[in-house]
Amino acid sequence: MFIVVAKKKEKGLFKKIMLLSKIRAELMNDSIAKDICKENNVDKEFLKGVPITFDDIDVAAKTIDSEIILNTKLIKKPFDVIMRYVIHELVHAIQHCETNGKSSKQDKSEDYLDKETEVEAFQQQVRYESKVNGEESAEEYVDGLLDYHGIDGKRGDKKKEELMEEVD
């Protein structure tokens, strides 16, 4: 009985490793990931070494001390959805390196979607979504994001415009 459980776990670990390899390969070849590095004066070799892992966390993804942590529930999502989160968190990983992991006082006092660090990360995430699935999909994603955070009206229109700024 123990062997069956171990084999099941091995398959899960193997699946994670294979997916992480695919993520890393995509990251190394993605023009947006390379642009993010270039725009932040970070060598693209950063993409080879930035830690990425899956874990049971309370959000879809987060970055702690430049380590990108993806929720294990994402494993079942389409690859482009996973990469959308990776791109967002890549921005945070670089931000953490630039600030030695410390948040600015401004970021701590602002609403989530008004934080400069989040705006920058979401702009790149939306840019990636547009590149992979088209501008209409990117707009739908932003609309859903704004709905989720209860941002509507003129403030919503302004925030949507801001989050869509990097879309070509």
Cα separations (Å) of 142 from 70, 117, 126, 159?
20, 17, 7, 9
Tell me whether strands 67-71 and 52-55 are parallel, antiparallel or unpaired.
parallel
Q: Where are the domains of the chain?
A: 18-163
Phi/psi at 54 (5° precision): -105, 145
Sheet architecture: strand order including 52-55: 52-55, 67-71, 61-64
Residue 158 pLDDT = 95
Spell out, as residue ranges, where the chain has pLDDT lower than 70: 1-10, 101-109
In this predicted structure, what is the pLDDT of residue 8?
A: 53
pLDDT of 9 reads: 54
pLDDT of residue 102: 63
Residue 109: predicted pLDDT: 53
pLDDT recorded at residue 2: 44
pLDDT of residue 14: 87
pLDDT of residue 108: 59
Residue 111 is predicted with a pLDDT of 83
**Token pair listed for 146:** 């704004």
